[in-house]
Amino acid sequence: MSGMSAGRSAMRMGPAELVQAAAMARRFYLEGKSKIQIAEEFGVSRFKVARVLETALERDLVRIEIRVPAELDAERSDALRARYGLRHAVVVESPAEAEETPDPENLGEVAADLLGELVNEGDVLGLAWGRSTIHMAAALDRLPPCTVVQLTGVYDAGTAERGSVEAVRRAAQVSGGDAHPIYAPMLLPDAATAEALRHQTGIARAFEYFDKVTVACVSIGSWEPGISTVHDMLSDEERAHYASLGVAAEMSAHLFDAEGRRVGRDLGERCITVKTDQLRKVPEVVAIAGGQRKGPAIDAVLRSGLVTSLVTDTSAADYLMTAGPTPRSALNRADPDGP
């Protein structure tokens, strides 16, 4: 709050007016008193108080600053939320030395804080496989008591202890709730093998929670090497086949074209994963994905209507703000492929 040197226009106020305006502003902005309380104290109407406070702002007697942590970009976050009709959008600064790196680790840290806000006691938290969700789980330091379930198999069963299984255990440890991991590969050789695994006791128990999930955390992959685990698990022939269908993005082993429509549905039959119909019914689905190279993939998945909230970085956000026609609201959860 500035004083009598607030500016040339402020000097047009007499000293008594300045003192009174400063006192009213202090009561309102610093002490949290209402306009009615201030009016009673100074013996004026509340409309007079409102005019004085407005004049104090106009004449620079009061300066209001909105500050968020340096790594958060509030302006981009709000613009991205509005453009896609998201419930929450959180944009963090891209690391200067690695703007092209997909899913910088700081996304996981911010997503961990967001989950701390979104998850309530008694919720069922679902975690899908992904580097970003693993980083998120490692950064968790607070969660109310909740059940944690794994939503997909693992990229490599040999790394389960360091991947999604460990992420589920970590989240359950922080919350003090039950953990339901899945000790199975995400992708199987054929649909029959996948179906048999779904009926194994431990896996079936986890699947029973899929319809009870209230908050889900997912990753998004682009259809290129190193940025989609599903892409990397397939043969060259299979990759070419799905590419010919127009696949632009992958999420939890489900493929999407640039408009957010599902393609290559046969792949899902070979995978241990939550169904898109089940995800669509989850009240809060948080996607964690960033990096300029992932921009088109993030746009495609947001257009699918499966995701309600997004944690991303400035590189991806800048792409998303100009990506094609304005999408429908993400909170319109209707299937773009129709019934």
pLDDT at position 204: 94
Please state, as a whole number, how many other Cβ atoms lie within 10 Å of the Cβ of residue 142: 12
| Predicted local confidence at residue 158, as pLDDT | 45
- Confidence (pLDDT) at 296: 94
Q: Is 275 helix (H, G, I), strand (E, B) or coil?
A: coil
* Per-residue pLDDT of the chain in tens (339 residues, 90 and over written 9): 444 343 434 346 666 777 788 889 989 988 889 999 999 998 999 999 999 998 888 888 887 766 555 578 888 999 999 999 999 999 998 876 555 566 677 888 899 999 999 999 999 999 998 888 888 998 999 999 999 999 999 875 444 445 678 899 999 999 999 999 998 888 999 999 999 999 999 899 999 999 999 999 999 998 888 777 788 888 889 888 988 999 999 999 999 999 999 999 999 899 999 999 999 999 999 999 998 889 999 999 999 999 999 999 999 999 999 887 777 777 776 777 765
Q: What does the pLDDT read at residue 59?
A: 83
Three-class SS of residue 195? helix
Mind giving me the DSSP string for 14-79?
-HHHHHHHHHHHIIIIIS---HHHHHHHHTS-HHHHHHHHHHHHHTTSS-------TTB-HHHHHH
Output the pLDDT for position 13.
Answer: 67
Per DSSP, the residues of 206-234 read HHTTGGG-SEEEEE-EESSTTT-HHHHHS
Q: Is-above-0.75 flag for pTM?
A: yes
Contacts 24+ apart (CB under 8 A), 33-37: none
CA distance 176 to 125: 12
CB of 25 closer than 8 Å to CB of 57 = no
Query: Could you tell me how far CA 178 lies from the centroid of its own chain?
Result: 24
What is d(CA 253, CA 306) in angstroms, rounded to the nearest whole number? 14
Consecutive H or E run containing 256? strand 254-256
